[in-house]
Structure 1
Amino acid sequence: MTSSIAKRVLLALIVVLAMLHESPVRAEEVPTSLQAIVDQAVPGDTLVLKPGTYQGPVAVNKPLTIRTEGEGNVELMNTSRLPALTIDADGITVTGLHITDEMVKETPTVLVRGHRSVLNGLYIRTGGDGIAIRDANEGMVTDTRIEWIADGVRLADKGNGVDVFNGHRWSFIGNTIRNVHDGIYMENSDDTRVTGNRIERSRYGIHCMYTNRTVIERNEGSLNVTGAMVMTARQVSVIGNSFSKQSENVNSQGILLYDTHDSILADNTVDGNRVGLYVELSTGNRLENNEVRYNFVGIQLLDSSSNSIARNRFTGNVADAQARSSEDNRISGNYWDQFRGIDANGDGTSDISYAINPLFQGLTKKRPAFQLFFQSPGMVFLEGLYQSDRDRWTTDSAPLMAPPMSENQIEDAEGRTLTGIAGLVLLGCTGTLFFWMRRRMS
């Protein structure tokens, strides 16, 4: 009996010693399940998350506001093939989360299926689509950063930063997106506003297909394949954007219109791209007041008609323009720095028109390999000889002799004028005061 008790005591001591030698696990090192917190909430609640790491995935199927508390990061970690965050109810707001979703997968990091969703101030590192919106309307994504997380993945195999299908009246404002497939992709999604975003090192910065009344305004894109691609769309507004340094790919453009109709491109800057403005199979569009500079080709018009192209500035491009089968457009009042016109009456426009030689575009359509001879001395010589069907060439009927002033230049000039007037008034007041003082002293 005594021997049996001794054995039990010895076994207990061994267990206690083993427990003492184990590494203690602190509660804060174990990610808290965000799903458990969401499940306990009542519809309409505001969940304020303390700084720390939370475990995903999480699905929100009731209207809630989820936001972070004060300073410090609130990180949602996801290692599953499911979305890190799924929004399945209307009227959900999520603010301030850092979401890390390292697995390369078909499913997105954030999946939105609820109307009137608001995503604000998120930082998403993704191995799929950053945010996918499906059959949901009237939401917002603002001040959010989205980056691709996985190394060694081809551009063609990456997900999109934001991917919208059949989602209408969304706003994407002030977001930064890098190293993804398409920055913001919209398909079958109308009345969407894309404003003040910055997109870098992706395929197409902003890409819309089968959309109506999309507004693309004051965005910046650089080092993408194409800045903004508008395809099979109507009544799109592309205004005040800047797309630069997109020239590494044979298909690089600043802004591309393909099968696009009744749209406007105005006050954009396309700088240092392979093609600044590319227009194909498009009608009824207005291209106005754009700054097109230092591109290999300023503008390409292919099989397009009934477009209005006016008051644009083409400067420093290797070739100002190329055109093919696009003679029926209203082109007037643009500045082409490679064109040498004659202004006999001094009205600022040339008395001779600027006709765009179609030889190179015709040759490369039949023999794409002839692209190698772009602006070669031999090709330039052949273009000088080619004069066939000149009356059908795409033509600026009244090219400008000097570049028109941009809105910024006008504002600067007005500012300098006002400053000069103020200076003259001040000088006059000073002189009057000086004269009055002298009279009093004499």
Structure 2
Amino acid sequence: MTFRNVRVFFCILGAVFFLLNGSSASAEDQRLNLQAIVDQARPGDTILLKPGIYHGPVIINKPLTIRSEGEVPVELRNSNDLPVLTIHADYTTVSGLHIIDEKVKEEPTVLVTGHNAILEGLSIRTAGNGIMVRDADEGTLDNSAIIGIAEGIRMADRGNGVDIFNGHRWNITDNTIRNVHDGIYMEGSDDTLVVGNVIEQSRYGVHCMYTHRTIIQRNDSHLNVTGAMIMTASHVSVIGNMFTKQSENVNSQGILLYDTHESTVKDNTAYGNRVGLYVELSTGNILENNRVSSNFVGLQLIESSGNTIQRNQFIANVADAQARGSEENNISENYWDNFRGIDTDRDGKSEISYSINPFFQGLVQKRPAFQLFFQSPGMVFLEGLYETERERWTTDTAPLMVPPDNETSAGDPEGAAMTGIAGIILLVSTGVLFIWMRRRNI
């Protein structure tokens, strides 16, 4: 082989190697470019993504199913000002992706404008709004985690975990949301189902504005400013939720109803909040069978009427209840552990009603700085002297002698007798022990 032929041979070999290597790199880039994969798919296709880091932004304009392949995480990242993932097409499913969007920006991490979207098994780390829904109905968000980036970002500057505007009949179930502004925010969005979510360390756990027939059920709201904020809404159901430790802010509540009507708050636990149940400018609501314990204030009623409040338990609160301008409510058969009634007919209800003194609430309305004297001895003394217009005070007409779940002991003379005997034995034993210790010292 001549030198010329050898040189030609190596040139051809180098060209082949370059083409093969270039083709491989191109295929790798193609694999990591999710938008290119989406563009090549046909409507209705299912795209199984192999493990790796894919790059956004991605826009879906045709119905597709995008899933991660296997158990290894598929990451989708973005570093510009656009949403990482935008879903414009109806009937789109996205499942099992880890979406990372660490840039502070106006645009959300995931934007949904298509109807019947299904988002499941997602893990979203965001510095802004996690999932934003605009004018899209019939969607599902299930079994996903939305974690806000809290380091260096004030709560007021964070985005919402889920933000739905004019999106009806969404199902939001079994998700974890943390370190965001509002966990789940719904505005002008009706018939939404919010079930089984855990929302922590945010402003409002669940926030309804101008919504109707929202169902909020079996959620766990912990260490937020307010657990559930229901405002200017109607026919909302808040049932079987846990609202705990909303107490770090002066305006913290477990459940807040403001300008809310014909709604049901039932079977919830409000524990360790600043205010357990707060009701203002609201009418026609039912608050029933809630356990309200270890709050600063169990129940606050402000300018509300026509509500039914019955069979709730108010236990170990600093103040059982406060009310102002709230007449004509049906309040009965609640248990107030600070109240000592008399049950002469042993039906489990006191013949003495329990009236909520409005003195402190009226005073704070005129002089907000007096909140500093909440439950101070002097304030309690003054409150005890206040008797003005007592007939207009908010009143439980038939308070329970024991909590509703302990009703089997109500009216049971043997149980009452045994309790009394135990108390006498304890008192006598204490007296004997005291006398014996005194004699030993002598």
TM-score range, shorter chain: 0.7 to 0.9
Separation in 2 of the partners of 1:345 and 1:327?
A: 28
- Matched to 1:205, the amino acid is G
Asked whether the equivalents of residues 289 and 406 of structure 1 are also in contact (C-alpha less than 8 Å), the reply is: no
- Matched to 1:177, the amino acid is I
Correspondence for 2:96: 96
Residue-pair matches, total: 391
Go from structure 1 to structure 2 and tell me whether the alpha carbon gap of 1:302 and 1:313 turns closer, same or farther (over 3 Å shift). Answer: same
Separation in 2 of the partners of 1:26 and 1:159?
A: 38
Separation in 2 of the partners of 1:320 and 1:54?
A: 55
Deviation at 1:345, TM superposition (A): 1.3
Is 1:293 matched up with 2:293?
yes
Asked whether the equivalents of residues 252 and 275 of structure 1 are also in contact (C-alpha less than 8 Å), the reply is: yes
Asked whether the equivalents of residues 150 and 179 of structure 2 are also in contact (C-alpha less than 8 Å), the reply is: no
Go from structure 1 to structure 2 and tell me whether the alpha carbon gap of 1:237 and 1:406 turns closer, same or farther (over 3 Å shift). Answer: farther
- Matched to 2:170, the amino acid is W
- Matched to 1:51, the amino acid is P
- Matched to 1:274, the amino acid is R
Correspondence for 2:80: 80
- Residue deviations 1:180-211, cap 9 Å, x none? 00000000000000000000000000000000
Identity level (%): 69
Correspondence for 2:208: 208
Is 1:253 matched up with 2:265?
no
- Residue deviations 1:258-317, cap 9 Å, x none? 000000000000000000000000000000000000000000000000000000000000
Separation in 1 of the partners of 2:246 and 2:372?
A: 19
Separation in 2 of the partners of 1:174 and 1:181?
A: 19
Correspondence for 2:56: 56
Correspondence for 1:121: 121
Go from structure 1 to structure 2 and tell me whether the alpha carbon gap of 1:97 and 1:406 turns closer, same or farther (over 3 Å shift). Answer: farther
- Residue deviations 1:143-175, cap 9 Å, x none? 010011252010000000000000000010000
Deviation at 1:127, TM superposition (A): 1.2
Correspondence for 1:6: none
Asked whether the equivalents of residues 104 and 150 of structure 1 are also in contact (C-alpha less than 8 Å), the reply is: no
Superposed, 1:75-224 pairs within 5 Å as: 75-149=75-149, 151-224=151-224
- Residue deviations 1:374-409, cap 9 Å, x none? 0000000001000000000000000001111089x9
Correspondence for 2:334: 334
Asked whether the equivalents of residues 304 and 325 of structure 1 are also in contact (C-alpha less than 8 Å), the reply is: yes
SS in 2 for 1:119: strand
Correspondence for 1:377: 377
Separation in 2 of the partners of 1:43 and 1:316?
A: 59
Asked whether the equivalents of residues 259 and 282 of structure 1 are also in contact (C-alpha less than 8 Å), the reply is: yes
Separation in 2 of the partners of 1:406 and 1:183?
A: 35
Correspondence for 2:437: none
Separation in 2 of the partners of 1:282 and 1:406?
A: 31
Deviation at 1:320, TM superposition (A): 0.4
SS in 1 for 2:404: coil
Deviation at 1:29, TM superposition (A): 8.5
Correspondence for 1:267: 267
Separation in 2 of the partners of 1:395 and 1:59?
A: 58
Correspondence for 1:352: 352
Separation in 2 of the partners of 1:74 and 1:168?
A: 30
Separation in 1 of the partners of 2:78 and 2:186?
A: 26
Go from structure 1 to structure 2 and tell me whether the alpha carbon gap of 1:28 and 1:79 turns closer, same or farther (over 3 Å shift). Answer: farther
Go from structure 1 to structure 2 and tell me whether the alpha carbon gap of 1:118 and 1:376 turns closer, same or farther (over 3 Å shift). Answer: same
Asked whether the equivalents of residues 288 and 312 of structure 1 are also in contact (C-alpha less than 8 Å), the reply is: yes
Deviation at 1:230, TM superposition (A): 0.2
- Matched to 2:63, the amino acid is P
- Matched to 2:251, the amino acid is N
Go from structure 1 to structure 2 and tell me whether the alpha carbon gap of 1:110 and 1:406 turns closer, same or farther (over 3 Å shift). Answer: farther
Correspondence for 1:302: 302
- Matched to 2:132, the amino acid is A
- Matched to 1:397, the amino acid is T
Correspondence for 1:67: 67
The normalised TM-score by structure 2 is 0.86
Go from structure 1 to structure 2 and tell me whether the alpha carbon gap of 1:391 and 1:150 turns closer, same or farther (over 3 Å shift). Answer: closer
Asked whether the equivalents of residues 168 and 191 of structure 2 are also in contact (C-alpha less than 8 Å), the reply is: yes
Separation in 2 of the partners of 1:181 and 1:100?
A: 18
Separation in 1 of the partners of 2:60 and 2:150?
A: 27
- Residue deviations 1:235-278, cap 9 Å, x none? 00000000100100000000000000000000000000000000
Go from structure 1 to structure 2 and tell me whether the alpha carbon gap of 1:305 and 1:150 turns closer, same or farther (over 3 Å shift). Answer: closer
Asked whether the equivalents of residues 183 and 204 of structure 2 are also in contact (C-alpha less than 8 Å), the reply is: yes
Deviation at 1:26, TM superposition (A): 7.6
Separation in 2 of the partners of 1:35 and 1:363?
A: 62
SS in 2 for 1:391: helix
Separation in 2 of the partners of 1:99 and 1:48?
A: 16
Task: For structure 1, list consecutive stretches of 5 or more residues without a partner in the other structure.
Answer: 1-11, 13-18, 20-24, 411-442
Is 1:42 matched up with 2:14?
no
- Matched to 1:152, the amino acid is G
- Residue deviations 1:345-371, cap 9 Å, x none? 111111110000000000001111110
Q: After the TM superposition, list the runs of 4 or more consecutive aligned residues in structure 1 that deviate by more than 3 angstroms.
A: 25-31
Separation in 2 of the partners of 1:179 and 1:238?
A: 23
Separation in 1 of the partners of 2:52 and 2:107?
A: 25
Separation in 1 of the partners of 2:406 and 2:201?
A: 28
Correspondence for 1:423: none
The normalised TM-score by structure 1 is 0.86
Task: For structure 2, list consecutive stretches of 5 or more residues without a partner in the other structure.
Answer: 1-10, 12-17, 19-23, 410-442
RMSD over aligned Cα, in angstroms?
2.2
Go from structure 1 to structure 2 and tell me whether the alpha carbon gap of 1:379 and 1:28 turns closer, same or farther (over 3 Å shift). Answer: farther
SS in 2 for 1:108: coil
- Residue deviations 1:302-346, cap 9 Å, x none? 000000000000000000000000021000000000001111111
Decide which moves more: 378-387 or 28-37: 28-37
Separation in 2 of the partners of 1:26 and 1:293?
A: 63
Decide which moves more: 340-349 or 298-307: 340-349
- Matched to 1:300, the amino acid is Q
Asked whether the equivalents of residues 277 and 298 of structure 1 are also in contact (C-alpha less than 8 Å), the reply is: yes
Separation in 1 of the partners of 2:151 and 2:26?
A: 32
Separation in 1 of the partners of 2:326 and 2:119?
A: 44
